[in-house]
Amino acid sequence: MPIPADYEERVYAGVLGKIIGVYLGRPFEGWRNDRIEAELGEINYYVHERMGRPLVVADDDISGTFTFVRALEDHGVSAAITAEQIGQTWRNYLIEERTILWWGGMGHSTEHTAFLRLKQGLAAPASGSIEVNTREVAEQIGAQIFIDSWALVAPGEPELAAALARKAGSVSHDGEAIYGAQVVAAMEAAAFFERDMDKLLDIGLALIPDDCIIARLIGDLRRWHAQDGDWRQTFARVQQHYGYDTYGGNCHMVPNHAVIILALLYGDSDFQKSQMIANTAGWDTDCNAGNVGCLLGIKEGLAGLATGPDWRGPVADRLFNISADGGGALTDAVRESYRLCRVGRQLLGVPAPPPPPARYHFSLPGSVQGFVASGAPDSQGSTRIDNVESVDRGADGGADGVGPGSRSLAVHFEQIAPGRTGRAGVQTFGEPANFDTPGYSMVMSASVYSGQTVTAAVRLAEETDGPVSVALFMEVFPQGPGQPATICCAPFQLLAPGTPATLNWLLPETDGLPIVRIGVECRADRGTTGTLFVDHVDWAGAPSCLFSGPGLMQYQRPMGWTDGIDNAQLLPGGAGVRFRLIHNEGRGLLINGTHDWTNYRLRARVTPHMAAEAGIAARVGGMRRFYALLLCQGQGLRLLRCCEGGEQILAEADFAWAPNQGYDLSLRVVGSQLVAVADGREMFSLEDTQLSAGAIALVQTEGHSYFSDVSLEAIRA
């Protein structure tokens, strides 16, 4: 079946439906129906403020959904992907006790149990099997909650989606958990072309055994729906026949799958009504509401999200994807949608359209890609944003290169004047409050760095009632706990109404502190009201900057570093701080940067204290994908490649080193060339094509070492 003409937009609607459902159900996850009805009533809209919770939070439903599908990118986009390869992807992107999963312990958290099986050397699907983990553990809900991405890359191909769902789910689950996941995945894939809910249920049922519990459950719910005509009456039957009292464990698949089917049958394809039922019914509310939201988003499109209250505005496309790819943690629904669509087109052998023009391009209707109006005192209340059709500038796209029919972010400001600015930006690293939120760990790195050049194409609306000075700004993480963030601006450009401009700014040093936000700021000499159109915002390439600046010293942990190490401490030393890294078992990585950095030179002074290995890594794409230059105990110096095929020593040499002595290591990666230098002497120079891009890391294996003077130099190849 051909890919739908509106594939990107429908995937975007599915992703939005998923994250809206998760954010809606997250504050009361695990509550039963009677408590929800008594304390909150029907769940018709977000309740986070009533409960004193943030709306946009890290959650396993989101991080797992958008991380595990990367198996296709890392192992080759193919329907022949194996459960074992998806299990390897788990090992690469999971940081034990920190990222993606609920780390509830062996035999209690199904996913944690499966991770420990993988760590012990048991490959998937055995890692999630009933034989190894018992039926009760293996049939919990997780196989279903992570499954939406596999359907989104298989539009109109329910059999393929169900097959991928089986492989992905079997890393951690088995039995009825797999069947429930296959039904949801098949229905979502079919929903790109089929809008009748009964037919979608038939499609899902056709791909699981007729005599399984999930099939019987769906049959019962369809019959009760026809008889009862009231979701609460039918839900009472669900509680009696398929409830937690019957299906035990921490969070069983069967009761929660029943809630999904209940919401889809009684929701009449109305997003708000379906979400109300899925959430008011209770149990694993964020998981169930996320699956319901994704399916309805695909089926009804963006228009289906707009029939009730404003679901999209408070979310602003924002999501946290917490994994060992820390530089990708701060992302948005548009970026994740386009990534999935690239994979989906390749999987189905369909040529891809030209890539988006920039990191933030606002091409999809209503998209703001995480940009929000500033809440700072000097701009709060003066600014609002929305997504608009761009003004026609002629066939050549006009001065800022944006053609007719495209879309822009509109930054509307009112009565800005000295002391009162119009400011809108996008978060690029966590704010202090994010790290204080209970729940899932907020391990991350920034997405933009000192030494990178940010570019924005803007245009001041002709209707603006006077000239406006416009500049890019950045917000830097506070210089100490309890202090405010530091806001820095590029030089301002004065624009007359109707004038386009391209803003460029080489971001200045931040003393090692991460950049929290990037955006645009508008100022005026007198009270001015108008609109700044932002057509795109972008940056690319590795930065040139110091990663161990003195700004970090006010914090107990190395802010901005993705923590794949048992213990990381900061001490004075070198040009700023020294990192003391301790890792107890195996190899630990302290990671910084983003997955798209290609050509650069990483330098650090490494002082092993007691270590099996200590060194630096480049082109890091997780805990098990990197090139590393390592001081190895009793074995001198090694250049190592770690990726899907395992570890391979690319080069090694005698290099006398002693504990508590410092050594200057440098690893240069440009194209396929790797050059390793130790104490000013070139040790290795070779070609390798396996890893083309990635972040940086400090590496510590079984022991304790110090790292200082950590810097990066971008190389323009």
So where are the chain's domains? 7-326, 371-538, 545-714
pLDDT for res 393: 42
Distances in Å between the Cα of 543 and the Cα atoms of 387, 507, 553, 713 are: 30, 9, 22, 7
Residues 185, 151 contacting (CB under 8 angstroms)? yes
Q: Give me the long-range contacts of 647-650 (CB less than 8 A, separation at least 24).
A: 650/674, 650/684, 650/686, 650/688
Report d(CA 220, CA 226) in Å as an integer: 10
What residue type is assigned to position 239 of the chain?
Q
Instruction: Supply the DSSP symbol for 574.
Output: T
- Count the residues in the chain: 717
- Statement: residue 692 has pLDDT above 70: yes
Nearest to 605 by CA among 665, 669, 544, 676: 665
pLDDT for res 575: 66
- Statement: residue 224 has pLDDT above 90: yes
245-263 mean pLDDT: 96
pLDDT for res 395: 35
660-684 mean pLDDT: 97
Give the distance from CA 179 to its chain's centroid. Answer: 27
CATH code matching the domain that covers 7-326, chosen among 2.70.98.10, 1.10.4080.10, 3.30.9.10, 2.60.40.10 = 1.10.4080.10
- Statement: residue 685 has pLDDT above 80: yes
Report d(CA 717, CA 676) in Å as an integer: 18
- Statement: residue 394 has pLDDT above 50: no
What residue type is assigned to position 230 of the chain?
D
Report d(CA 408, CA 532) in Å as an integer: 10
The alpha-carbon radius of gyration of the chain (Å, integer) is: 26
656-664 mean pLDDT: 95
- Matching residue, tokens 């099939």: 215
Domain 371-538 and domain 545-714, same fold? Reply is yes
Contacts of 681 (CB under 8 A, 6+ apart): none
Nearest to 46 by CA among 71, 61, 19, 24: 24
pLDDT single digits (tens) 501-525: 999 999 999 999 999 999 999 999 9
pLDDT for res 403: 40
pLDDT for res 574: 67
Distances in Å between the Cα of 77 and the Cα atoms of 105, 125, 692 are: 33, 20, 17
Number of CB atoms found within 10 A of residue 190's CB = 30
Between 177-186, 285-294, 379-388, the lowest mean confidence (pLDDT) is in 379-388
pLDDT single digits (tens) 31-60: 999 999 999 999 999 999 999 999 999 999
Q: Show the 3-state SS of 195-221.
A: CCHHHHHHHHHCCCCCCCHHHHHHHHH
pLDDT single digits (tens) 618-637: 999 999 999 999 999 988 99
Report d(CA 594, CA 592) in Å as an integer: 7
What residue type is assigned to position 199 of the chain?
K
Structure tokens at 586: 């195996």
pLDDT single digits (tens) 127-140: 999 999 999 999 99
Residues 254, 282 contacting (CB under 8 angstroms)? no
Report d(CA 587, CA 692) in Å as an integer: 22
204-218 mean pLDDT: 98
**What is the model's pTM?**
0.96
367-386 mean pLDDT: 93
Report d(CA 237, CA 341) in Å as an integer: 40
- Statement: residue 400 has pLDDT above 70: no
Distances in Å between the Cα of 368 and the Cα atoms of 388, 520, 542 are: 10, 14, 25
Say if strands 636-643 and 545-546 run parallel, antiparallel, or are unpaired: unpaired
Structure tokens at 716: 């323009």
Exposed / middle / buried, residue 680 (Cβ in 10 Å: 0-12, 13-18, 19+): exposed
pLDDT for res 555: 87
Residues 683, 663 contacting (CB under 8 angstroms)? no
Report d(CA 7, CA 24) in Å as an integer: 26
pLDDT tier, 396 (very low <50, low <70, confident <90, very high otherwise): very low
Between 84-98, 278-292, 385-399, 590-604, the lowest mean confidence (pLDDT) is in 385-399
Nearest to 529 by CA among 467, 458, 459: 467
- Which H or E run includes 273? helix 271-280
235-243 mean pLDDT: 98
CA dihedral 311, 312, 318, 320 (to 10 degrees): 30
Residues 410, 385 contacting (CB under 8 angstroms)? yes
Say if strands 500-506 and 453-460 run parallel, antiparallel, or are unpaired: antiparallel
Helix (H, G, I), strand (E, B) or coil at 169: helix
pLDDT over 70 for what percent of the chain?
97
CA atoms within 13 A on the CB side of 616: 30
State whether the Cα torsion 453-561-95-144 is positive or negative.
Answer: negative
Is residue 683 left, alpha or beta, with left meaning phi > 0 and alpha meaning psi from -120 to 50? alpha
Instruction: Supply the DSSP symbol for 508.
Output: P
Q: Show the 3-state SS of 300-323.
A: HHHHHCCCCCCCHHHHCCEEECCC
The topology under which CATH files domain 371-538 is Jelly Rolls (2.60.120)
309-314 mean pLDDT: 98
Structure tokens at 216: 């019987």
550-578 mean pLDDT: 88
pLDDT for res 401: 37
- Statement: residue 123 has pLDDT above 50: yes
pLDDT for res 5: 93
Residues 460-482 as b/e (b if ≥16 CB within 10 A, e otherwise) read bbeebeebbbbbbbbbbbbbeee
Bond before 314 cis per omega within 30 degrees: no
- Matching residue, tokens 């800022």: 400
What mean pLDDT value characterizes the chain?
A: 95
Read off φ and ψ for residue 417, nearest 5 degrees.
Answer: -165, 175
Report d(CA 255, CA 247) in Å as an integer: 7
Report d(CA 448, CA 289) in Å as an integer: 33
Report d(CA 181, CA 184) in Å as an integer: 5
Residues 287, 145 contacting (CB under 8 angstroms)? yes
Nearest to 291 by CA among 510, 25, 27: 25
pLDDT single digits (tens) 175-194: 999 999 999 999 999 999 99
Beta partners for 385? 411
pLDDT single digits (tens) 410-454: 999 999 999 999 999 999 999 998 988 888 889 999 999 999 999
- Statement: residue 398 has pLDDT above 90: no
Report d(CA 544, CA 500) in Å as an integer: 30
The CATH architecture one would assign to domain 545-714 is Sandwich (2.60)
